[in-house]
């Protein structure tokens, strides 16, 4: 099965080893990836709140700072943009981050003799001193729930809400195929800890700014289909982004409109960035069409069914190269 081939050759540190390293440390920096999502923020804040209760001196940095959309998360005021000068900590912890480079400026701002890497990306090479990569977990928040439970660390209602947001957002509200019985059990445990699922879901999924829907209208205008409707794409140019005044985070999740179309196997979203780069975001509905493998050809990575890359070139150049690679992968499925 291709799933085994794609699994990284990482020897995982045990939860006991990770808890030991945390208990030994006094000052701890908790980081996650650039262009953060609910799993990144939820994981960072859940661990930070728990370790704070343990009496640790916790710093929580993300290159992008806190986004308006996630400002409701308990402990969100702890999350800051990193300073330009590096600081020294006893321990650095990278969460939900496939490569060190994706920590961005937050990674550069932390100097630490020891690093822990907890993640669920199949493309994670296991960087750091103690790595725990579980690519069967649908969210880093799920691994953290298991870790906190195993280590006997606190999970109060605020920590539970962060973990719930991490898991809910990375599973598409408990829908994606990597959602397991265990995920639902953990969801139930988190509700027992005090999570108000109706309130949290409304904040996550029914509170979008109007400009996000205006962006969707523009994107649908650029929608195209290739490979007999098995591949769908849309694109956002810098010009349109500026015209609408959209924030980078406004497009999170819009690609799901393409994936939701009957017959579509691979959905792709192209976003023109400054400095001659294009962000490529891909989703698959069939594990055999491994979008992480396609994105790795363009210097990116991710999961089999959700991956991304930042490719160099103009928007039309990157569109052409990437569409060619996707079509080759989809054609090779022979269906």
Question: CB 271 → Mn ion: shortest distance, Å?
Answer: 19
Question: CB 33 → ligand 5GP: shortest distance, Å?
Answer: 6
Among 215, 300, 305, 315, binds ligand 5GP (CB under 6 A): 300
Q: Answer for the pair 250, 215: CB distance below 8 angstroms, yes or no.
A: yes
For ligand 5GP, the closer CB: 56 or 140: 140
**Structure token pair of residue 72:** 């409701």
Among 31, 48, 93, 98, binds ligand 5GP (CB under 6 A): 98
CA distance 107 to 33: 9
For ligand 5GP, the closer CB: 38 or 158: 38
For ligand 5GP, the closer CB: 230 or 304: 304
Q: Answer for the pair 277, 242: CB distance below 8 angstroms, yes or no.
A: no
For Mn ion, the closer CB: 140 or 179: 140
Residue 38 as a binder of ligand 5GP (CB under 6 A): the answer is no
CA distance 274 to 76: 28
Residue 310 as a binder of ligand 5GP (CB under 6 A): the answer is yes
Among the residue ranges 84-92, 182-190, 297-305, 326-334, the one whose residues contact ligand 5GP (CB under 6 A): 297-305
End-to-end Cα, the chain, rounded Å: 18
Buried b / exposed e over 300-318, threshold 16 CB at 10 Å, is bbbbbbbbbbbbeeebeeb
CA distance 306 to 287: 10
Which residues are 271's β-sheet partners? Answer: 236, 279
CB atoms near residue 65 (< 10 Å): 12
The tokens 């986004």 sit on which residue? 67
Residue 96 as a binder of Mn ion (CB under 5 A): the answer is yes
Question: CB 39 → Mn ion: shortest distance, Å?
Answer: 3
**Helix (H) or strand (E) segment spanning residue 141:** helix 140-151
CA distance 52 to 77: 14
Q: Which of 168, 214, 225, 187 lies closest to 38 in space, CA to CA? A: 168
Interaction partner, residue 132 (Mn ion, ligand 5GP, none; CB < 5-8 Å by kind): none
Q: Answer for the pair 164, 187: CB distance below 8 angstroms, yes or no.
A: yes
Can you tell me whether residue 193 is helix, strand or coil? coil
For Mn ion, the closer CB: 39 or 63: 39
For ligand 5GP, the closer CB: 54 or 287: 287
Residue 39 as a binder of Mn ion (CB under 5 A): the answer is yes
Residue 170 as a binder of Mn ion (CB under 5 A): the answer is yes
Residue 307 as a binder of ligand 5GP (CB under 6 A): the answer is yes
Residue 99 as a binder of ligand 5GP (CB under 6 A): the answer is yes
Give the residue nearest to ligand 5GP (CB): 308
CB atoms near residue 117 (< 10 Å): 26
Interaction partner, residue 309 (ligand 5GP, Mn ion, none; CB < 5-8 Å by kind): ligand 5GP
Residue 142 as a binder of ligand 5GP (CB under 6 A): the answer is no
CA distance 47 to 159: 8
Among 94, 281, 293, 304, binds ligand 5GP (CB under 6 A): 281
Can you tell me whether residue 202 is helix, strand or coil? helix
Interaction partner, residue 99 (Mn ion, ligand 5GP, none; CB < 5-8 Å by kind): ligand 5GP
For Mn ion, the closer CB: 7 or 328: 7
Interface with ligand 5GP (CB under 6 A): 33, 35, 98-99, 102, 121, 123, 281, 300-303, 306-310
Residues at the site binding Mn ion, with contacts judged by CB under 5 A: 39, 96, 140, 170
């Amino acid at each position: 099965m291709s799933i085994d081939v794609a699994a990284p050759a990482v020897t995982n540190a045990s939860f006991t080893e990770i808890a030991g390293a945390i208990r030994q440390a006094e000052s701890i920096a908790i980081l996650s990836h650039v262009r953060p999502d609910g799993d990144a923020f939820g994981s960072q804040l859940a661990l930070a709140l728990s370790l704070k209760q343990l009496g640790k001196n916790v710093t929580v940095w993300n290159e992008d700072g806190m986004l308006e959309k996630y400002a409701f998360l308990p402990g969100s005021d702890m999350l800051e943009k990193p300073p330009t000068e590096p600081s020294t900590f006893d321990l650095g912890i990278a969460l939900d981050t496939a490569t060190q480079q994706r920590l961005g400026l937050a990674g550069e701002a932390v100097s630490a003799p020891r690093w822990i890497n907890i993640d669920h990306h199949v493309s994670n090479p296991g960087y750091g001193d103690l790595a725990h990569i579980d690519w069967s977990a649908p969210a880093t928040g799920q691994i953290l729930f298991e870790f906190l439970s195993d280590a006997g660390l606190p999970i109060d209602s605020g920590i539970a809400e962060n973990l719930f947001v991490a898991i809910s957002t990375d599973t598409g509200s408990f829908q994606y195929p990597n959602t397991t019985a265990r995920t639902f059990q953990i969801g139930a445990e988190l509700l027992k800890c005090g999570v108000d699922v109706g309130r949290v879901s409304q904040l996550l999924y029914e509170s979008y700014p109007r400009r996000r829907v205006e962006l969707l209208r523009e994107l649908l205008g650029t929608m195209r289909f290739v490979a007999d409707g098995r591949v769908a794409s849309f694109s956002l140019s810098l010009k349109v982004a500026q015209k609408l005044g959209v924030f980078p985070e406004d497009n999170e999740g819009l690609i799901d409109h393409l994936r939701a179309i009957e017959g579509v196997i691979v959905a792709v979203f192209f976003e023109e960035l400054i400095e001659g780069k294009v962000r490529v975001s891909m989703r698959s509905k069939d594990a055999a069409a491994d979008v992480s493998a396609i994105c790795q050809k363009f210097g990116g990575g991710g999961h089999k069914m959700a991956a991304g890359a930042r490719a160099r070139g103009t928007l039309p150049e990157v569109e052409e190269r990437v569409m060619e690679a996707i079509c080759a992968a989809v054609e090779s499925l022979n269906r």
